[in-house]
Amino acid sequence: MKNIIKENDSKDIENILAICINHLNNNQAARSIKFLENQITTSPHPKLSFTLGNIYLAQGNPQKSIKYLLEASKQAPNVAEIYNNLSNAYLSDNNYERSEVSAIKCLEINDNFAEGWVTLANVRLKLKKVNESINALTRALRINPVMYEALINLANIYFDKNEINKSLELYKRAIIINNKSDDAYNGLGLINSAMGKIEDAIENFRYALKINPKNINALGNLATTYAKNDKIEDAILLYRDALSLQPENINLLSNFAFTLQDAGRFEEANKNFKKAFLLNKNESHLFPYLINSEMEICNWKNYSFNMEKLLELTNKKGGEPIPPFSLANSLANPKTRLEVAVNFTKKIENNILPFKKKFNHRNKTTKPKTKLNIGYISPDFRDHSLGQSFLAVIKTHNKEKFNFHGFATKVSNDLITDEIIEHFNSFQNISTLNTVEAAKAIYNQKIDILIDLAGHTKNTPLEILSLKPAPIQAHYLGYGSTIGSKNIDWLITDKIHTPVELYDFCSESLVLLPNSFMSAEYLEIKNNKISRDIEKLSEKSIVYANFNSPNKLDPKSFETWMKVLKNVPNSVLWLKMTSKQAQRNLVQEAEMLGVKADRLIFADRKNKKEHLARLKLADICLDNFLHNGGVTTIDALNAGIPVITLKGKNHTQRTGASILSAAGLHSCIKNDKIEYTNFCIELGLKKLRLKKLKARVKEKVKHSALFDNHLLSKNLEFGFEEMYKCWLNENKPKFIKI
């Protein structure tokens, strides 16, 4: 700034600035600001305005900073530093266009000013001009090869672009310049995490925090790493530490909320999602998760408004695509659901574009193989609804005719996992590998058909499938709807779950099984200790039940159930106990609909066998309208309890019909809400009819196609052979009917 100090007053200006700096050193910023403002009023000078603007910027007041930096720029129009700091002030005020103009002006004055190129890079990154940002940082490093800030920023950009090697080189250069670089060690942690080197990543994040315990990025990244590796309580503590430093950090708040959901702390998760969203309503990508958190606690006060806004987001051009799973309990039509799936899958596929890797399957044989290699990939080979359902399939697959290989993108240590592993020819834990390495592991196993069991559910392996490690790829069981990916060739479903009117709203070709696509294993239930008294159910009551998770419930279904209760004297609704808030909200909703609180009975959590035993105490199970039960419906039938479902138009509204059709219970499938309501009331009032229906369920269902897993596996295997024939012949029909 020497060139803006007039010779005849430089001594006075330096004295004023010395006093100002002394106040700042004594933590008296307000006194320093007041002193400078008084001096500027009586003796305006560009260096005083420049300094005051910088102080305001450091204090988090970009508007005042802009005011004084603009004054400085008018007083000294040829000083690059003024425009550089003015650009930073506009950047802090989210005025990216003016920030860019100021940064360009700075460099027009002095294009050898490295800090100016870094500032221009920062604003262009905000404007999503990523390549121009890279060019600006590269220019800064030509001017000053050891410029630490430029190295870190460029490394961060390359990491976001998945150009891991370039990013790694830059972080290492930054550490050579400054071996106490917490930002560089945080970056190394991100790289190791992306490469599946979790322990190394944790060590990097911890070292960054040893250098700087207040490094927000390292705190958040270590918390996220812990959460992904089931160290939930450790993650929660770290998020709390980070939020004590930055309580309005939207990314921290939302990641904290996701972790709280994993811990089953739905009320607290909802509060954090709300706070994150209210801080910046332009963060529209958070809105679907906020809605889901409301559904988890059955808060339906804004249900209609939320669903309208959610559907608006599906039509919004540009911006962050919404997750397809968020539409499961919505009124979105099949066309919208397909479009959302396609858009979200494009986002996933864009993540792997920098890898520039696709696997070559051109060396295929022209002759049918005698033994196909079938791969199953999932994060849920565990004690989970998917793991329980899949176990019945893998147990009954024909190991003489096919080789079956498991690929776990997340591993749990439980009895279900152990039993599933026993039935595979080989089983690989690929959770510690990065996307390319995981895909290579599958490719090297020479898999002919790779079956995804997750779809758009949590911990999806769709990035891996986007690299096409197998020549034929299909989705089955875990998600059940269209994936929207050009890399998923087939959707394995059934003619009830996917009727002809849904064909055009599936991006995949279809394998149509003759019975339900759902897998179910019939379990003999023996438990004499269960009684209605223990479960707080009256012996005289008609017990309607629904044991689905709260996020599958919806106000229209609940309103219908309350109508049923009001028309059936001495009836109750037996529900799954989750959070206290969900319970309070459901009771309040019931009372608003004219049903007393004591007619809702909430059941404690029990293990699978105990739950199946107590389900026998129910009379009738009621299915949700928008997001049908899957395993919960099968459990009820296993216990001998009829389930009444309303068949809708979307996949999520047809799972109940698929299951009940395979069970031979067509009379329990209803086509409209009036028919559904009247039938549920009639069963409650006509005990003889209910008794006959329950007897039929107990006698017939266990021998039905629903529980014939050998038949299901045989049909799946026939589907595998047909898919493979289509691939050999380079023919992909719209559907294969088994």
Domains along the chain with CATH numbers:
1-77 (1.25.40.10), 283-355 (no CATH), 372-515+713-737 (3.40.50.11380), 542-707 (3.40.50.2000)
Identify any residues that bridge with 307 across adjacent strands, giving them in sequence order. Answer: none
The whole-number average pLDDT for the span 700-723 is 97
Q: Could you give the CA distance from residue 100 to residue 120 in angstroms, rounded to a whole number?
A: 6
Closest CA to 187 of 227, 153, 211, 150: 153
Q: Which token pair is 244? A: 């004590």
Q: What pTM, to 2 d.p., does this model score?
A: 0.87
- N-term to C-term CA, the chain: 80
pLDDT higher than threshold 50 for residue 2: no
Identify any residues that bridge with 378 across adjacent strands, giving them in sequence order. Answer: 408
Position 5 confidence tier, pLDDT thresholds 50, 70, 90: very low
pLDDT in tens, 311-321: 999 988 777 89
Q: Could you give the CA distance from residue 705 to residue 228 in angstroms, rounded to a whole number?
A: 38
Give the number of other Cβ atoms within 10 Å of residue 199's Cβ.
11
Give the number of other Cβ atoms within 10 Å of residue 21's Cβ.
12
pLDDT in tens, 425-468: 999 999 988 888 999 999 999 999 999 999 999 999 999 999 99
pLDDT higher than threshold 70 for residue 11: no
What is residue 38's predicted lDDT score, i.e. its pLDDT? 84
Residue 82: CA count within 13 A, CB half-sphere: 25
CA distances from 459 to 59, 189, 289, 463 (A): 41, 20, 16, 10
| DSSP SS3 for 475 | strand
Contact between residue 330 and residue 294 where contact means Cβ atoms under 8 Å apart = no
Q: Which token pair is 342? A: 């396609």
Q: Could you give the CA distance from residue 184 to residue 30 in angstroms, rounded to a whole number?
A: 34
Q: Could you give the CA distance from residue 152 to residue 108 in angstroms, rounded to a whole number?
A: 25
pLDDT in tens, 650-671: 999 999 999 999 999 999 999 9
Q: Could you give the CA distance from residue 206 to residue 176 in angstroms, rounded to a whole number?
A: 19
pLDDT higher than threshold 60 for residue 241: yes
pLDDT in tens, 524-556: 888 778 999 999 999 999 999 999 999 999 999
The whole-number average pLDDT for the span 376-380 is 97
| H or E stretch at 452 | strand 449-452
Contact between residue 640 and residue 620 where contact means Cβ atoms under 8 Å apart = no
pLDDT in tens, 322-348: 999 999 999 899 999 999 999 999 999
Share of the chain above pLDDT 70, in %: 97
Tokens 């911990």, residue located: 459
Contact between residue 467 and residue 488 where contact means Cβ atoms under 8 Å apart = no
Residues across the chain: 738
Tokens 């589907």, residue located: 719
Tokens 């994936």, residue located: 483
Residue 293: CA count within 13 A, CB half-sphere: 28
Q: Could you give the CA distance from residue 451 to residue 341 in angstroms, rounded to a whole number?
A: 18
Task: Compute the mean pLDDT over every residue in the chain, rounded to the nearest whole number.
Answer: 93
Phi, psi (5° rounding) for residue 508? Answer: -95, 160
Q: What share of the chain is helix, strand, coil (3-state, %, to 5)?
A: 60, 10, 35
Position 563 confidence tier, pLDDT thresholds 50, 70, 90: very high
